[in-house]
Structure 1
Amino acid sequence: MRHGKADDETECLFKVGTLPVPFKSPSKMASAEEQQAQKLMAEADKKSASATKTTGFISGVFGGSSSGKIDDAIELYCKAANIFKMAKNWSDSGTCSLKAAHLYQRINNKLEAFSKFTDASNAFKKNDPQKAIECLKQAVAIQTEMGRFSMAAKTLVSMAEICEAEPLRDIPQAVGYYEKATDYYQGEESKSQAQPCMLKVAQYAAEREEYGKAIEIFEQVAERCAANPMLKSGAKEYFFKASLCQLSVDPLNAGQALARYIGTCPAFQDTREYKLMKALLGALDGDPDGDAFDAALKAYDEVGRMDGWAAGMLQRVKRRMGGDSDLT
């Protein structure tokens, strides 16, 4: 079969080896990128060190030569960070962004410093979550100093999420960040943003059997929802979670709490969750073998399964009855 002219020329180029750009494997390209970034970072380090030496009386009297060097160093660090990022070298990318952040602090550019601390955290999060949190701590310090507490709260939530995830899985630390974020949001009257943070604190409190704390938060959120026509439908979920915590403490308290909840939100009485709680209370009162307890749960799950957190709470109640059936 006869090829076209263009095909013949291309074939000839391959034969004589005259292609203008030789092919490089992806691994070699990545290595070349990292070498380029390393050179940029080394050059930035020199400019940063030189600026430090010239800072002081002479710089203040005769001009901002050190400021120009700092600007140049920042630009080089940012370029290097992006190249390392493309090469998926997260550690060096984070280090370059972190160095740029510290230089921005030296020239009192707080917004850019915050941005670079955030970039550094995003890079470190891939393989060094603790260092990522340390970067975000510095970002929060800048935000609070500037009076931007809603932004600081959002950053605290990011810190909490890093703590929740593997490999850290540091729940007490995560709860502390969620609580601080709640304080900041509430101080700014951002109640809708504070609510998810509060609910995280309540759920973890219940898992640690701090039922009083969990009940207080769930009831507070439920009452807020019940008082707002736009949020009213959500009240049943939080009254149900408060009821589960009450049940974990004492069935008598749970029964009294249910009566209060329908007084605050009469629509709760018509929900599947309320009916389940009444059935469970009846089972606990007159069914030492737990058969009625299991039957109530089965009837509920036939319509729609409860979430894992609620199932875990009821598993604890079941164990106290002397049973060990899997409710999840």
Structure 2
Amino acid sequence: MSDAAKGEEFEKKAEKKLNGWNLFGSSKFEDAAELYEKAASSYKLAKSWDKAGAAYINVADCHLKSESKHEAASGYVDAAKCYNKTSPKEAISCLTKAVNLFKEIGRFNIAARHCKEIGELYEQEQDLEQAIVFYEQAADLFESEESTTSANQCKQKIAQFAAQMEQYQKAIEIYEDIARQSMNNNLLKYSVKGYLLNAGICQLCKGDVVAINNALERYQELDPTFPGTREYKLLADIAAAIDEEDVARFTDVIKEFDSMTPLVYLLAFNFQLVSNSFVLLV
């Protein structure tokens, strides 16, 4: 018998269990869940991912009927892993159900991880608005569990997408907030110059030289070491080039920085943002 046929056989047994009488005191829902799980495993071996996903959803539904919310949530997560190979939309649907259940039972850290996973799926689908929604949920949940590093990782994604969507002020506020938090952490304070650079580039993309100069003054107050960094010099030199409408100087500034610290050092989108600033000059 093939693995797919085994899966079908287990599903039939599960359905029979659900429709039959319980004579031995055990829960028919738990027994059916076990059979559906065996069906899912067989479908996975056959690489029938949609059928495996559907079987795991049945596992989750059985656990819900027996009030086992943690097991139900885990079933939806297993279903999402299968659907992730064929249908991101179905994977998102299953993960969303899992997140809601994990939140109901107070497992906020697990819920946060799966919110982040949903954000990543929307990111793959290039749906940045929905990606932001779930990264924001993940950040809030991580913060509720005092997982600051994980929360900041999500916030950086939100800022990146906001900048890509030209929501520069939102991105600026996020980067500046992360920088302020990081200044109070000995392990994170060395990343502050990168956050301030990202915030500064977003300021530049707004095309307001006065705003960037004011921002640079604030950044000096936030981090007294910032004026001595190459990141600060880059922002100041670009601001000056824009103010003077000096395209040649702008180009030289970018080339000089890139020759010593490749722009891939920045978040990936920053090269595009710097280029947007260049457009302001021509």
TM-score by length of 1: 0.81
Aligned residues: 278
Is 2:185 the counterpart of 1:228? yes
Q: CA deviation at 1:277?
A: 1.0
Give distance in 1, aligned partners of 2:233 and 2:160.
Answer: 22
Gaps of 5+ in 2: none
RMSD (Å) for aligned C-alpha atoms:
1.7
Point out the more displaced range, 69-78 or 290-299. 69-78
Q: CA deviation at 1:274?
A: 0.9
Residue in structure 1 matching 2:91, options 110, 129, 132: 132
Q: For residue 6 of structure 2, what is the aligned residue in structure 1?
A: 36
- Which letter maps to 1:309? F
Give distance in 2, aligned partners of 1:268 and 1:64.
Answer: 72
1:104-143 map, 5 Å: 104-143=63-102
Give the match's secondary structure for 2:262: coil
Higher relative contact order (CA 8 A, sep 6+): 2
Residue in structure 2 matching 1:281, options 239, 256, 264: 239
Q: For residue 277 of structure 2, what is the aligned residue in structure 1?
A: 317
Is 2:237 the counterpart of 1:267? no
Give distance in 2, aligned partners of 1:135 and 1:285.
Answer: 51
Q: For residue 52 of structure 2, what is the aligned residue in structure 1?
A: 93
Give distance in 2, aligned partners of 1:271 and 1:87.
Answer: 56
Give distance in 2, aligned partners of 1:92 and 1:313.
Answer: 44
Give distance in 2, aligned partners of 1:197 and 1:45.
Answer: 42
- Which letter maps to 2:235? M
Give distance in 2, aligned partners of 1:207 and 1:169.
Answer: 11
Q: CA deviation at 1:45?
A: 2.0
- Which letter maps to 2:242? L
Point out the more displaced range, 37-46 or 192-201. 37-46
TM-score by length of 2: 0.93
Give the match's secondary structure for 2:2: helix
Q: CA deviation at 1:71?
A: 2.5
Aligned-pair identity in percent equals: 34
Give distance in 2, aligned partners of 1:287 and 1:177.
Answer: 40
Moved over 6 A (4+): none
- Conservation of the 8 A alpha-carbon contact between 2:245 and 2:281: no
Residue in structure 2 matching 1:298, options 246, 255, 267: 255
1:10-159 map, 5 Å: 32-48=2-18, 50-51=19-20, 67-159=26-118
Give distance in 2, aligned partners of 1:320 and 1:45.
Answer: 65
Give distance in 2, aligned partners of 1:234 and 1:132.
Answer: 34
Q: For residue 204 of structure 1, what is the aligned residue in structure 2?
A: 161
- Which letter maps to 1:45? E
- Which letter maps to 1:39? E
Give the match's secondary structure for 1:266: coil
Larger Rg: 1
